[in-house]
Every structure is written in C-alpha cells, then in structure tokens.
Amino acid sequence: MKKKTLIITGSIVVLLAVAFLVVKKITKKEEKVTFDTVKVERGKISNNVTATGTIQAVKSVSVGTQVSGIIQKIFVDFNDKVKKGQVLAKLDETPNRSQLDQAQANLDQAQAQFDYQKATFERLKALYEKNLIAKADYDQALFNYENSKAAITNSKSALTRAKVNLDYCTITSPIDGVVLNRAVEEGQTVASSFSTPTLFTIVNDLTQMQVQTSVDEADIGKIRIGQRVEFNVDAYRDVKFEGSVSQVRLQPVTTNNVVTYVVILNAPNPDKKLMPGMTATATIFVDEKDNTLFLSGKAFRFTPTIAYLQKMRAEFQKRRAENETANAGSRGQQNQGQAGSNLQSSNGPAANGMQSAGGYSQSGSASNGGGFNAASLPSDMKRVWIRTDKGGIRPLIVKTGIDNGTNIEVLSGLNEGEEVVISMTDGSTKAAAATTTSSNRARGPFPF
C-alpha cells in the first residue's frame, strides 16, 4: 500500500512538471510585441522664450535743484498730475536775491568806472595826437579804458548768473506726467554740490509702460523686434497682459559669470493696472502658428530595440530566401542570383543594407540594427516610426517646422489623425524603448 502511494505521488509530480513546461512554452510563444502610439494633431504650436523683468514708465525724470537753500513751499504731492512748466516747489530766495542785488551794484560800479576811463582816454588821445603828452601817458589811459570795458562784461555775466540762480529757486516740471516720488518736505535744507539732489520723480503717460527684462545669452539670438509678448504680474495673477518687443540692447550684463542682455517690451496700460516697479514674468513668442499639424516629441525620440530589428531582419531574409527558392525551379540556378537582385531593388533592401526611404538613403548592418545616416538628412527632416499592416513598424521621414521642446510641427509626410509609435513593450522588456534626442537616428535597413 505504501509503495502504491509513492508511485501515485511520483506520477503526479511528473505530470505537474510536464504541465508547467508546456504552459511556459505556450506562454513564451504567445508573447507579443506591443506598441504605444500617439496621433498627429492639428492646432496651435509656438516656440517661446521666458524672461522676468521690472515694469517701468517709458520716460522717467528725476527733478533736482542746482542751488542750495531751504524748501520754502511745496505745491505738489504723490500721484499728482502736472504739466510742463508747472511750479513744483520754491526755495527761500533771500540769499539768491542778495547775490542778485550785489551783482547789480557791481555792474553799476563798473559802468561808472568805464564812463570815467572812457572820458579820460578820449581827452588824452586828443593831446597825444598833438604831441602834447608822452606816449606812456597815452598807453596808460588806453589800458585803463580797455580794463574798465572788460570789467563791465564781467559784471554783466555775474548779474546774469545771479538772475539764473534766483530763477532756480522756483522748481518746475520738465514734462507732462505724474509725480511718482517726492523726496523733500517744507523747511528741509537741500545742498547742491557735485551731485544734484533729487527732489521729485516724475513719469510721463502711465497708460504706456515698458518691461525691462533680462534674456539669457543662449536665447538672445531668437529675439527680434516686433515679436508678440504675453506677461503677468503677481497683483493680477489671472490677467494676461500683451505687448511686443521694442528694443534689444547690445550691452551685455554679466552677473556671477552669467551673461544676459536687456530686452525692452512695450506694455500698453489703458486701465492703469500696471504700476512702476512690479515684477513681470514675460513669454516672448519666437515662432507661432495656428491650425497646423504637430506631433509629440516622444515620437521623434523613439528608437526600437536592436533585438527587435534583428528579428525583423531575419524574417525578411527568410522570406527572401523562400522567394528565391520558388523562382529557382523555373529560371535555373544561373538566374537565381539575378532574381534576388531584382527582388532587392523592387521589394526591399539587399543584404548589404541599402534602401531608399523618402528620397534619403539608409544603411546599416545586423549588428547595429542599421540606420538612416543622420548626417545626410537636412536639419528640418526627422524620422518617425509608423505601424505596418502586418503588425510591425517601419521608419518614415517627415519634414518638420517649429520645435518647442514638447511638440514638433509637421510640415509634410504625415496626415492628421495618423498614429506614430512612441514606445514598445515585448516579453523580455517591459519598459518603453525610447532614446534621447541626441540618439535620434534611424535603425535600418527595415524590410517591413
């Protein structure tokens, strides 16, 4: 009885082992390669550059004083609208008026001296012409006369300067605008020295602002005057303001070995929501198109595994060998090689891996999976992979346009709604077989 139980148990173990091997073999045979695809879409695509900057008035003037004194009266305050020539403030005129009176007195004194020296000179000149005085006396009279004339000119200049300084005691607005800042109070003393003190800051029309942004040197080559701009500020997070590029300054700005360039953006402000000093995050649209075809960049970075390509190549060579064998009986051994050559030129690549696809040659070997020679493709031509009727994939060359890093514009080679492979999964590899952009080269020859 015990022996019978052992025999039954052994038989069950053998049957289970056989069943496991059969199921494993069937499962392995049923493993299939699957492909993930995306569709070619139609819509809007744009390539842009992002920059941050500060909102400023188009024109800002710092109003100072050229004379020292005490602020006697201030006529404007923050945010007041002013006109060109309007009085903003007045300094105490007492010291400058005294200087004006002194300059006037000096002029009167010089004028009197001039009149005296002129009369003396004319009298001595008449005597000298009659040889009644020495030449030395005549020269002295001439010297005094010319000297008094110069003294009058000097006194007139001093009087003019005193008048100007007195006028400077009245500070006026140089432009039409708004008082952005007032830096002084009545009774405060201002001293004019080598640097003019700022009393007021006036900006012109606040309905027209500008954004001074910094653009990295890697992106500055894309920026052109007139490009469309969208920006927002923290004060109005849900509002998108629009503008355009108005100036690209050539002067580089180097900060911690990082080189940037100043780009000025026009910022219309009809509602006066934008205020000077706000931080703006701007998007400069370098290229943009509406109603155009585009495809995910993943499709251009996808490359099948070498094992899959070698498998497809082996199947192709097997089919070609079967076709050559079928034709050998009717055309003989001598024509067999010619039949293979004709098949190569009409139905697929030859054993050396040469094939024409989209007007561009591809070459390769079984060891590396082959490949389109990337150097032979123009910069606007790229390769993608599409499904075949037999469940495989094949490469296709398309002409591309705008590349924004996420999507790429398709100019020709694909139609809207067509599916393009972005990844693959087989029995041995469950991860997507994708490569980086730098390895975006075709793997050929592809007989499918």
Domain boundary among 183, 201, 219: 201
Domain boundary among 201, 224, 256: 201
Question: For the whole model, what pTM was predicted?
Answer: 0.64
Which pLDDT does position 1 carry in this prediction?
Answer: 53
What percentage of the chain has pLDDT greater than the value 70? 77
The whole-number average pLDDT for the span 336-342 is 44
423 with 363, same domain?
Answer: yes
Domain boundary among 150, 168, 186: 168
The answer to the question of residue 3 being in a domain is no
Q: Which residue has the higher pLDDT, 422 or 359?
A: 422
Which pLDDT does position 377 carry in this prediction?
Answer: 75
Rounded distance, CA 91 to CA 169, Å? 5
Rounded distance, CA 162 to CA 147, Å? 23
The whole-number average pLDDT for the span 325-349 is 50
- pLDDT confidence tier of residue 278, bands split at 50, 70 and 90: very high
What percentage of the chain has pLDDT greater than the value 90? 55
The answer to the question of residue 74 being in a domain is yes
The answer to the question of residue 445 being in a domain is no
341 with 420, same domain?
Answer: yes
The answer to the question of residue 24 being in a domain is no
The answer to the question of residue 5 being in a domain is no
Helix axis angle, 94-129 to 135-168, nearest 10°: 160
Structure tokens at 298: 């993943």
Return the CATH number at 253: 2.40.30.170
117 with 250, same domain?
Answer: no
- 19-48 tens-digit pLDDT: 555 445 444 444 577 888 999 999 999 889
The answer to the question of residue 332 being in a domain is no
- pLDDT confidence tier of residue 380, bands split at 50, 70 and 90: confident
352 with 417, same domain?
Answer: yes
User: Closest by alpha carbon to 223, among 403, 54, 49?
Assistant: 49
Which pLDDT does position 326 carry in this prediction?
Answer: 77
The answer to the question of residue 110 being in a domain is yes
DSSP 439: G
Total residues belonging to the chain = 448
Residue 212 phi, psi dihedral angles, 5° rounding: -95, 105
100 with 123, same domain?
Answer: yes
- pLDDT confidence tier of residue 339, bands split at 50, 70 and 90: very low
Structure tokens at 107: 């002029």
69 with 186, same domain?
Answer: yes
Structure tokens at 22: 């059969």
The whole-number average pLDDT for the span 160-187 is 93
364 with 391, same domain?
Answer: yes
315 with 270, same domain?
Answer: no
Whether the per-residue pLDDT at 407 is higher than 80: the answer is yes
Residue pair 443/392 in contact by the 8 Å Cβ criterion: no
416 with 354, same domain?
Answer: yes
Which pLDDT does position 331 carry in this prediction?
Answer: 61
**Domain hosting residue 70, numbered range:** 64-91+170-201
Rounded distance, CA 123 to CA 142, Å? 11
Bridge partners (DSSP) of residue 4 are none
- 185-213 tens-digit pLDDT: 999 999 877 677 889 999 998 999 999 99
Which pLDDT does position 14 carry in this prediction?
Answer: 55
Q: Which residue has the higher pLDDT, 122 or 442?
A: 122
192 with 97, same domain?
Answer: no
Which pLDDT does position 201 carry in this prediction?
Answer: 94
Rounded distance, CA 334 to CA 384, Å? 40
The total of structural domains in the chain comes to 4
